Amino acid sequence: MQAVPAGAVELDRGRIRELTARELAALNERTPKSAEMYQRANRTLSGGVASSYQLRDPWPIYLSHGEGPRVWDVDGNEYFDFHNGFGSMVQGHAHPAIGRAVTERYGQGTHFAAPTEDGVVVAEELARRFRLPRWRYTNSGSESTMDAIRIARGLTGRDDVMKIFGSYHGHHDTVMVSIGVEYDRIGPDERPNSLAYGAGIPQATVDLVHAVHFNDAESMERRIVELDREGRKPACVIMEAAMMNLGVVLPEPGYLEAVREITRRHGVVLIFDEVKTGLCIAAGGAVERFGVVPDMVTLAKALGGGLPTGAIGMSEEVARVVEDGSVYQVGTYNGNPLGMAAARASLLEVLTPEAYAHLDRLNDRIVAGCGEVVERYRLPAYTVGIGSKGCVTFSREKVVDYRTFKRAQDPELSELAWLWSMNRGIFMTPGREEEWTLSVAHTEEAIDRYVSVFAELAAELAG
Ligand SMILES: Cc1ncc(COP(=O)(O)O)c(C=O)c1O
């Protein structure tokens, strides 16, 4: 990770707003068919989209297709894809090996609600990569974290849950707490507020969830002890080993080891939510990258190579409550043969050791390239990368948790950078929270394009 350059320049806010208005007008100009499709979609599809995370003002950009590292929108604009479906498409679009597996499976029937051999092979491979012996399947990241928390509750007989303030773990009630909070509502450092994320979440559920700040193991332990004294020891700590929704926030040295030791000592189940990190930052995700083995791992996104598939990894002790029937981990589509065929081909034929070496090489190149631009223009920013993921964080201060993110990260610059990229053939994740995900199909050409587009923005900002 790079440091913010010494003597970083003060950016002209008026200029940022002026450029943002100009780039927004240019994007509107380039996407008339998306505008038309939005008019039509909005009549029947609420907000014109399938998920509120796809909403955009004045209209979403509708895509038509993707191939390898590229996607095209309905206006025919071509982009290098650095969004990659919120990090689901680390294999690249329409990968032939996954295509073959899915086509073959289609001819043999796509759904039985009975286990198939592919599901066994995938579990064997996940057990090897993530160092957890027992696995179950789901269909999304939210299902994975929902079931994992229920399993932890079943195992411990406790209802309370601990999470990291500002971390996103999906859209079920227990984890829709203490995310997206304004800075002045975060609450005291030692006891941040538990707040519902949007309407429709019962207060009784919110009250069971306790958030602590990332990269602070001591406050986690103090909070566990305090809750224990109140007779409310948490069943689990659910966390990302590297936060992936504040840009990328890496764990400080020793933090994950301390969390592992504390949770073990207090008998609290440790869940690493690897929906974003798993299969993307290393073959065995954060477990491999940081060498810390939790009690449970949750996966989704990249697992299915573009098909909706999720998984839960468990230690033998944790899995007992599933295997003895005391916790129901169920679902009609769990282990769906089409998803399992895609996951098997992805794990065995696409996400190979060579693929991870390629992703590391490309990520080093993009991080170094963007870092050089930051230095050259003395931008109030720094770059951070890991595996296939990374970002330029627009902040004068190193972001280590949600507090520093909300205090220091620059939302206006993030918005401008997104518009700027979209108008120059770089399809990026919208919003200040996100990062790039490279795919196996990315090449140096895609990386160099990203860096040169960023350099043009930096030059424009420097005036
Ligand atoms: C870390 C993490 N966990 C869980 C989820 C939920 O996954 P899904 O959207 O597949 O339900 C997400 C989604 O972005 C995520 O980033």
Q: What is the pLDDT of residues 102-140, one digit of tens each?
A: 999 999 999 999 999 999 999 999 999 999 999 999 999
Contacts 24+ apart (CB under 8 A), 100-105: 100/345, 101/341, 101/342, 101/344, 101/345, 102/307, 102/338, 102/341, 102/342, 102/345, 104/341, 105/337, 105/338, 105/341
- 66 and 463 in contact (C-beta within 8 Å)? no
Ligand 1 centre distance from Cα of residue 389 (Å)? 15
CB-based contacts of 33, cutoff 8 Å, min separation 6:
62, 73, 74, 75
In the chain, what are the domain boundaries?
13-94+352-462, 96-350
CB-based contacts of 43, cutoff 8 Å, min separation 6:
none
Q: Under CATH, to which class is 96-350 assigned?
A: alpha beta
Strand-strand pairing, 426-427 and 78-81? parallel
Nearest CA to ligand 1 atom 15: 169
| pLDDT at position 431 over 90 | no
> Quick one: tokens of 220?
């986690």
* Domain 13-94+352-462 matches domain 96-350 at the CATH topology level: no
Task: Answer whether 435 contacts ligand 1 (Cβ < 6 A).
Answer: no
Task: Answer whether 126 contacts ligand 1 (Cβ < 6 A).
Answer: no
CATH architecture of 13-94+352-462: Alpha-Beta Complex (3.90)
Ligand 1 centre distance from Cα of residue 328 (Å)? 21
List the beta bridge partners of residue 137. Answer: 311
Q: What is the pLDDT of residues 288-298, one digit of tens each?
A: 999 999 999 99
Tell me the pLDDT of the chain averaged across its residues.
97
Which residue, among 84, 90, 17, has the nearest Cα to 428 in the 3D structure? 84
> In 271-401, which ranges are continuous DSSP H helix?
285-290, 316-323, 337-345, 353-376
- 338 and 346 in contact (C-beta within 8 Å)? no
| pLDDT at position 151 over 80 | yes
Task: Answer whether 170 contacts ligand 1 (Cβ < 6 A).
Answer: yes
Q: Which helix (H) or strand (E) holds 455?
A: helix 444-462
Ligand 1 centre distance from Cα of residue 458 (Å)? 32
- 161 and 170 in contact (C-beta within 8 Å)? no
**Residue given tokens 């909706």 in the structure block:** 308
Task: Answer whether 268 contacts ligand 1 (Cβ < 6 A).
Answer: no
| pLDDT at position 432 over 90 | no
Nearest CA to ligand 1 atom 8: 141
- Read off the pLDDT band of 255 (50, 70, 90): very high
Amino acid at 147: D
**What confidence score (pLDDT) does residue 5 get?**
86
pTM above 0.75, yes or no: yes
- 84 vs 3, which has greater pLDDT? 84
Q: What is the pLDDT of residues 174-222, one digit of tens each?
A: 999 999 999 999 999 999 999 999 999 999 999 999 999 999 999 999 9
Ligand 1 centre distance from Cα of residue 177 (Å)? 14
